[in-house]
Structure 1
Amino acid sequence: MTSLKNCPAPAKLNLFLHVNGRRADGYHLLQTVFQLLDHGDTLDFTLRDDAQIRRVSDIAGVPEEQDLIVRAARLLQAEVLRRSGALPRGVDIAIQKILPMGGGLGGGSSDAATTLMALNKLWNAGLTRQQLMDLGLPLGADIPFFIFGQNAFAEGVGEALRPVRTPTCWYVVIEPGVAVPTAAIFSSGLLTRDTPPIIITDFSSHLENQTDLKGYGKNDLQHVATSLFPPVAEAIEWLSAYGDARMTGSGACVFCAVANEVDADAVLSKMPNKWSSWKAKALMQHPLTAML
């Protein structure tokens, strides 16, 4: 095998996101439920005859050397060399980038996770799912979730994952047109860090009584983002007419759950032209799960 084509890197939503405290090292203690979506970037991997790792697609504002895709590939290449004593062939990586940066959808982390899973297969590296998760964590706290491969209740800094059942539904997502820097949200004096911890059965019990998350949890980062970035607040206000609209991650994207694709299309038909928006079906597992 010399190539892998059309490898999906799905988006994620944070169905809720609670900030429970902050560790001595400055990292925030979180609880969230990650939801995979049937919508995301797509990557192609083609082995080279030398050892170079190259991104052959331009991404505005992301230099190749700083791209998580390239950094993940080089990290895995070094790990294979350490384990086997043989340097694997280099690779050309092409990406069809559709997820916005600074959107809270996990795009860069998902791209990196897909890179680790695909190259683990292409290089016959033989790393386990957990080994890939451990390898990816220093690059980004969301990367282990995508390698985990299923919707998850997450704690700690986002790395402690347990599988969880989530609603079978569709989502409408609005891109408000601003990029929200995660650091600006977590460093804001507006952020509270004292939401009482919950347990996973609280979430599961809620879903046993209704099909969606209406009335359950919140995003503790949302009031900070809406204060600093008014377009986020505007999108939430508009979408709230059609469901329990909330922000994902540290922003900027906003979503609400709907029962089916017909309902999603109905909301999108009324969407103001000033916003990019789309629909996506909830995924139960990552499309590349079978690779591991």
Structure 2
Amino acid sequence: MFTLPSPAKLNLFLHINGRRPDGYHELQTLFQFLDYGDDVGFSPRDDDRILLDPALPGVPDRDNLILLAALALRRTVDQPLCGVNLSLTKRLPMGGGLGGGSSNAATTLLGLNRLWQLGRSCEELAELGLQLGADVPVFVRGFAAWGEGIGEKLTPAEPPEIWYLVLKPDCNISTGLIFSEQGLTRDTPRIKIAPAFEGDASRYRNDCEDVVCRLYPEVKRSLDWLAQFGPARLTGTGACIFGRFPTESKAQKVWASRPSGITGFVARGVNLSPLHKKLTELK
């Protein structure tokens, strides 16, 4: 029996370069992990059943990425495998743009690869994870990355490992709704990797931010408040927003002064996923 972290990610910027014929959008983004997230527990069973307890409220089993990841991996194996009890300690808000579901799926793939002793490479698991969601590969590979395509084309990156204050306004945002909005910016010119790495990601933007703020006034209010203390930005398609701070104490000071009714946390940006760090310790 063992437990693995399922960390959050931030999109330090998110540019939308166009829409593909299949409806997906071409993106450029910079992913970084946080030392904060969910936990997924793994315990083998004497039968072949795969069970998740507790169930995720409001998410039926057929849509739960943890169970979908487990079943997808088991379908790639021709030999009998033991069942597993999966447990989820949920800290990341749903619909927050922090990649919680994708992270849970990646942790499940890597955890079951270890439990079942399959010996699959990160590349193989990332390819399988892409069938579950565009953000799953970055969590499987486990390094901060420049992302292109629909977010699955990844180049390792090393953004500064600074502190972030992450706020979650009281709303849940549908990624599909945001990407279907007519007013969404879809023609941001592509930038080259080298200048983006050499520069400060705060120079760039999140192309979803204007649409999200128009549709969800609570996000705009939180963003305006956090912007008093420095650059603030939406992550992914929201609803979470984040501000950058050079030290934990400065981030905690702002967190302590937040308006009532806003949840969130302070965490450090890390370029090696806590999941991969833990897997290395377990070997």
For this structure pair, what is the TM-score category when the shorter chain's length is used for normalisation? over 0.9
- Residues 18-57 of structure 1 correspond to what in structure 2 (within 5 A)? 18-57=15-54
- 1:91 aligns with 84
AA in 2 matched with 1:59 = L
- Partner residue of 1:104 out of 97, 102, 105: 97
Residue 65 of structure 1 and its aligned partner are, at CA, apart by: 2.6
Residue 148 of structure 1 and its aligned partner are, at CA, apart by: 1.2
TM-score, with length taken from structure 2: 0.96
- Partner residue of 1:233 out of 216, 220, 224: 220
- 2:137 aligns with 144
Is 1:275 the counterpart of 2:262? The answer is yes
Residue 28 of structure 1 and its aligned partner are, at CA, apart by: 0.4
Aligned-residue sequence identity (percent) comes to 45
Q: Aligned pairs, how many?
A: 279
- Partner residue of 1:221 out of 189, 205, 208: 208
AA in 2 matched with 1:234 = R
- 2:169 aligns with 176
- 1:73 aligns with 70
- 2:191 aligns with 198
Question: Tell me, which stretches of 5 or more residues in structure 1 are unaligned?
Answer: 208-212
- Partner residue of 2:179 out of 155, 178, 186: 186
Distance 1:159 1:87 in 2: 31
Distance 1:276 1:194 in 2: 33
- Partner residue of 2:146 out of 150, 153, 175: 153
SS of structure 2 residue aligned to 1:100: coil
Q: How large is the RMSD of aligned CA atoms in angstroms?
A: 1.1
- 1:287 aligns with 274
SS of structure 1 residue aligned to 2:270: coil
AA in 2 matched with 1:12 = K
Kindly indicate whether the alpha-carbon contact (under 8 Å) linking 2:65 and 2:102 is maintained by their aligned counterparts in 1.
yes
Residue 56 of structure 1 and its aligned partner are, at CA, apart by: 1.2
Distance 1:4 1:164 in 2: 30
- Partner residue of 2:246 out of 248, 259, 266: 259
AA in 1 matched with 2:41 = D
Kindly indicate whether the alpha-carbon contact (under 8 Å) linking 1:15 and 1:35 is maintained by their aligned counterparts in 2.
yes
- Partner residue of 1:129 out of 105, 122, 126: 122
Kindly indicate whether the alpha-carbon contact (under 8 Å) linking 2:7 and 2:275 is maintained by their aligned counterparts in 1.
no
Is 1:4 the counterpart of 2:2? The answer is yes
Distance 1:269 1:101 in 2: 23
AA in 1 matched with 2:267 = A
Residue 52 of structure 1 and its aligned partner are, at CA, apart by: 1.0
- Partner residue of 2:237 out of 229, 250, 271: 250
- 1:210 aligns with none
Kindly indicate whether the alpha-carbon contact (under 8 Å) linking 1:154 and 1:162 is maintained by their aligned counterparts in 2.
yes
AA in 1 matched with 2:2 = L
Distance 1:288 1:98 in 2: 15
Residue 162 of structure 1 and its aligned partner are, at CA, apart by: 0.3
Kindly indicate whether the alpha-carbon contact (under 8 Å) linking 1:4 and 1:122 is maintained by their aligned counterparts in 2.
no
- 2:12 aligns with 15
Residue 191 of structure 1 and its aligned partner are, at CA, apart by: 0.6
1:40-97 CA distances to partner (integer Å, 9 max, x unpaired)? 001111111111111111221111232000000011111122xxxx121111100000
Distance 2:23 2:88 in 1: 34
Distance 2:158 2:273 in 1: 14
AA in 2 matched with 1:172 = L
Distance 2:243 2:198 in 1: 20
